[in-house]
Structure 1
Amino acid sequence: MSSQEVPQLKAVILDWAGTTIDFGSCAPASVFVEIFRQRGVDITAAQAREPMGRAKRDHIAAVAAMPEVDALWRAIHDGASITNDQIEAMYNDFLPLQKKTLGNHSQMIEGVCETIHWCREQGLKIGSTTGYTRELLQIVAAAAAEQGYVPDCALGVEDAPAGRPAPYLIYQAALQMEVFPLWRIVKVDDTVVGIEAGRNAGCWTVGVTRTGNGVGLSEAEWDGLGKPEQTEKIDAAAASLKQAGAHRIVESVADLVPVLIDFNDRLAAGELP
């Protein structure tokens, strides 16, 4: 058996935006900003990104509940905070706006397909989960397939009773892929709630920094930064993901192979996540 083989592991479950596609997770962030702007509330990109990884309706509610956003909302709504009906209306507006933007934000992140190919050679199954609805997921999954990425399962928000940080989407992916126990699975995600979901499920977890929501920049924006600024942003993203419980941190899924080999070796030595 080659030292590069990973027989102890059985599957890798990957997020979508910011992890496998859409460098910087730009598509959802821009739409969250827009739906609040349409209602006279200007939120920052950082506020839009903070709950990233949650189901989109939950995400809207989380942004609206932020003290600064709530104050802005109340200032133009006679002192009243946002209602459930207003959140539902924003969610209904979110879906068509997000659908329009996905076509421009479904490019595979460099190096991801090569990593997936290596995983397939090792016999690992590939699952995927997202906070997107099934309708939105179909768009990005079709675009990814054209670029050579087809996971064994692709699950969206309707496929579990609750989204991240609950572990149910991971449970469902494990069921569909017929993989157990869950400590033979690696969950890879660029969001805090995604890492929390992986830990809650009992998986190994890997946080993604440079290409993900924590840094939150397009590839062109990232390339325009100086080295000190890049390092600062990666360190900040890594700190958040480590605090959420990530076992390891990578800048990109392109860097995942050595981490999988390490997890395999730790399992072979009797260590569990």
Structure 2
Amino acid sequence: MIEAVIFDWAGTTVDYGSLAPVIAFKKAFKDVGIELTDSEIRQDMGMAKWDHIGKILNMNDVKDQWKHEYGSLPTNDDRKRIYLGFQKSLIKYLRDYTELKSGVLKTFNYLKEYGIKVATTTGYTNEMMRIVEKKASENGYAPELVVTSEDVHDQGRPSPAMIQYIMEKFNIDDPQKVIKVGDTLVDIEEGHNAGVKTVGIVEGSSLMGLSQVEFDELDDEQQLVKRNEVKRKFELVNTDFIIDNIYDLVQIIEYLNEAMDKKW
């Protein structure tokens, strides 16, 4: 039987479209004279933010911009400066981007009813998560365990360390009894590295990159095209299950439980 579900946060359970980190990254880099596109930011979304900034600074276009602006490549001190600016911006934006996505409470209540433990992993820091966790709790969503890379010696995604830490805390030995749910490819890679079942969420995901309003303004055919684009990306990294909405997770759990019952 499935014993635990591990959710991501932004783009999965809160912040439809994972907008807050994108806005914060853009501002932090613009403050040092670097322009970023959404696709450049979202390419490694889900990683610990320090690691993510390192990835961005290593992009060819960003290095070219930096050379043009400063006459040299960015240093570790530059990375620290950007990281501090990013933290300051994100903490500000998180207060406005922690609304629960549709179906989260219904799914959460189902999991509680059937005794399935709920935990989370994230690319956010503990300080950031205190804001997100508090607002989510006020709206009825309160996972039993909230883990960041700071809890596992800064081993962020795609390392399996956070999931392994959760399994240890929950006394779960078999990774096949655990599901990791996320909206980025890094989420899926984290799940694969831990040996757990992986579920990718399509609507409101960072991979789709649209706000709720932007998605709702599309006609049915355009929405289908967007869903299929995201599904193909998840399929390319061998995601075990792909769902449109978080409440579709219930069907996945029931399917897996039935399959386990037949196996034994």
Q: What TM-score results when the alignment is normalised by the length of structure 2?
A: 0.96
Residue in 2 aligned with 1:145? 137
Inter-partner Cα distance in structure 1 for 2:222 and 2:62: 28
Q: Structure 1 residue 71: deviation in Å?
A: 1.5
Q: Is the contact between residue 202 and residue 208 of structure 2 (CA under 8 Å) also seen in structure 1? A: yes
Residue in 1 aligned with 2:111? 119
* Unaligned segments of structure 2, at least 5 residues: none
Inter-partner Cα distance in structure 2 for 1:180 and 1:108: 31
Q: Structure 1 residue 265: deviation in Å?
A: 2.2
Inter-partner Cα distance in structure 2 for 1:153 and 1:86: 34
Residue type at the aligned position of 2:101 = I
Q: Structure 1 residue 85: deviation in Å?
A: 1.4
1:150-161 aligned within 5 A:
150-161=142-153
Q: Is the contact between residue 164 and residue 197 of structure 1 (CA under 8 Å) also seen in structure 2? A: yes
Q: Is the contact between residue 32 and residue 82 of structure 2 (CA under 8 Å) also seen in structure 1? A: no
Residue in 1 aligned with 2:232? 239
Find the partner of 1:224 among 217, 224, 247.
217
1:50-89 aligned within 5 A:
50-78=43-71, 80-89=72-81
Residue type at the aligned position of 1:53 = G
Q: Structure 1 residue 229: deviation in Å?
A: 2.5
Residue type at the aligned position of 2:133 = A
Residue in 2 aligned with 1:132? 124
Q: Structure 1 residue 89: deviation in Å?
A: 1.1
Count of aligned pairs between the two proteins:
263
Residue in 1 aligned with 2:16? 23
Question: Identity of paired residues, percent?
Answer: 34
Residue in 2 aligned with 1:197? 190
Inter-partner Cα distance in structure 1 for 2:127 and 2:170: 21
Residue type at the aligned position of 1:136 = M
Helix, strand or coil at the partner of 1:120:
helix
Q: Structure 1 residue 63: deviation in Å?
A: 1.2
Residue in 2 aligned with 1:188? 181
Q: Structure 1 residue 232: deviation in Å?
A: 2.1
Q: Is the contact between residue 127 and residue 177 of structure 1 (CA under 8 Å) also seen in structure 2? A: no
Helix, strand or coil at the partner of 2:223:
helix
Q: Is the contact between residue 152 and residue 177 of structure 1 (CA under 8 Å) also seen in structure 2? A: no
Q: Structure 1 residue 156: deviation in Å?
A: 1.4
Q: Indicate yes or no: 2:234 matched with 1:258.
A: no
Residue type at the aligned position of 2:42 = R
Q: Is the contact between residue 46 and residue 184 of structure 2 (CA under 8 Å) also seen in structure 1? A: yes
Residue type at the aligned position of 1:261 = E
Inter-partner Cα distance in structure 2 for 1:229 and 1:33: 27
How has the CA–CA distance of structure 1 residues 81 and 230 changed in structure 2, closer, same or farther, with 3 Å as cutoff? farther
CA-based RMSD? 1.3
Helix, strand or coil at the partner of 2:15:
coil
CA deviations over 1:116-144 (Å, ceiling 9, x no partner): 11111111000111110001001100001
Q: Is the contact between residue 20 and residue 94 of structure 2 (CA under 8 Å) also seen in structure 1? A: yes
CA deviations over 1:123-180 (Å, ceiling 9, x no partner): 1000111110001001100001011111110011211231111100001111222222
Inter-partner Cα distance in structure 1 for 2:164 and 2:104: 24
Inter-partner Cα distance in structure 1 for 2:224 and 2:137: 33
Inter-partner Cα distance in structure 1 for 2:195 and 2:23: 32
Helix, strand or coil at the partner of 1:76:
helix
Inter-partner Cα distance in structure 2 for 1:128 and 1:153: 6
Inter-partner Cα distance in structure 2 for 1:265 and 1:82: 53
* Unaligned segments of structure 1, at least 5 residues: 1-7
